Amino acid sequence: MIPDEHNERRLVEGAGAALERLAEGLEPGTRARLDRARAEALAGRPRPLRPAAPKPTPWLLPLGGMATAAVVILAVALWPQPGPTPAGPALIEDVELLADAEGMAFYEELEFFLWLEETGGAG
Amino acid sequence: MSDTTALDRFLEDAGPRALVMARIATSDPDEAMDIVQDAMYNLVERYADRPEAEWSPLFFRILQSRIRDWYRRQKVRNRWRTWLGGAGDEADPIQELPDRRGDTPETHLTQSEQGRAIQAALATLPLRQQQVFMLRAWEGLDVAQTAAAMGCGEGSVKTHYFRALRALRKRLGEVWP
């Protein structure tokens, strides 16, 4: 069914107004965080969150490549045969995504995720 | 940096809307705040000298790119969790996230309930439809600006927008008949 113009306009305007109210009604604490983030960005201060991974010194670069290769080899070797396996490029992309600072945090939390899985996430 | 005051005003105005968009996309207030903060830093660092009229599409392009990046990471993590944890099939992480609002559209809704209803309805849309709807219907970007913000073609924007409208009408028809 193609929505007619009148109904479409009502929906768009109504949804837009409702979203606007959500933005206007943000909690004071959240507003304060936004204001702080804005001020820090404009002042050119370093980002307090999600810091960029420090660039390795040139002599360390081969080590990074070797570590990535090792993870790929390990993953391929351990991959359970009957289950679904991602294609080669997808696997490499996954490893690149996971091998950054955030990825390391993921591995650190892995035990927790596995526990969560076992307990069915009941809390 | 060309005009810090104007940029400050722009971010003050756009920031809360960006946060709502990111919250709907991630269903995680902290992740959403990080994404918006990142987008602010990027805009200031890279595009502060651009004409003021370009800030909005640029800012929302950065924001949408960060949201897509987050979404992609979640997908990868879910795939690896599934493999490492031996759980079931891969699923859309957005669809998997719990709907914390827990309501459905009803005929007589207060304004805050309308807000929750649109939030919940948008959260059920595929990410691209969600993005295109908010950029077009709320942020007021035209098709070309939306395409630039989303990094896709104008035809794709029109298709996603049409599908989003159709899905939202189905879900919110009683809220805005």
Q: List pLDDT tens digits, range B77-122.
A: 777 666 666 544 445 554 444 444 444 444 445 667 778 888 899 9
Query: Alpha-carbon distance B119 to B19, whole Å?
Result: 12
Which range in A60-69, A92-101, B61-70 is most confidently predicted, on average pLDDT? B61-70
Query: Alpha-carbon distance B107 to B175, whole Å?
Result: 6
For the whole model, what pTM was predicted? Answer: 0.66
State yes or no: pLDDT of B130 exceeds 80. yes
Phi–psi pair at A45, nearest 5 degrees = -75, 155
ipTM (interface predicted TM):
0.76
Helices (H) and strands (E) in chain A, counts: 5, 0
Optimal mutation site among B3, B67, B176, interface A, most CBs of chain A within 10 A:
B176
Optimal mutation site among B2, B26, B37, interface A, most CBs of chain A within 10 A:
B37
Q: Name the residue among B166, B173, B159 with its Cα closest to residue B128.
A: B159
The predicted-structure confidence for A66-93, as pLDDT tens digits, reads as follows: 666 666 666 666 665 555 555 555 666 6
Amino acid at B116: R
Please answer yes or no on whether B137 and A7 come within 8 Å at the CB atom. Answer: no
B-chain residue closest to A45, CA distance:
B41
For chain B, the first-to-last Cα distance in angstroms comes to 47
Check CB contact of B41 with chain A, cutoff 8 Å: yes
State yes or no: pLDDT of A60 exceeds 60. no
Q: Which spans in A44-100 are helix H?
A: 61-78, 88-98
Chain A hits for B73, CB-CB cut-off 8 Å, are 97, 102
Tell me which residue in B17, B117, B165 faces A23 most closely, judged by beta carbons: B17
Query: Alpha-carbon distance B82 to B62, whole Å?
Result: 30
Please answer yes or no on whether B38 and A47 come within 8 Å at the CB atom. Answer: yes
Cβ neighbours of B177 (radius 10 Å): 11
Query: Alpha-carbon distance B174 to B104, whole Å?
Result: 10
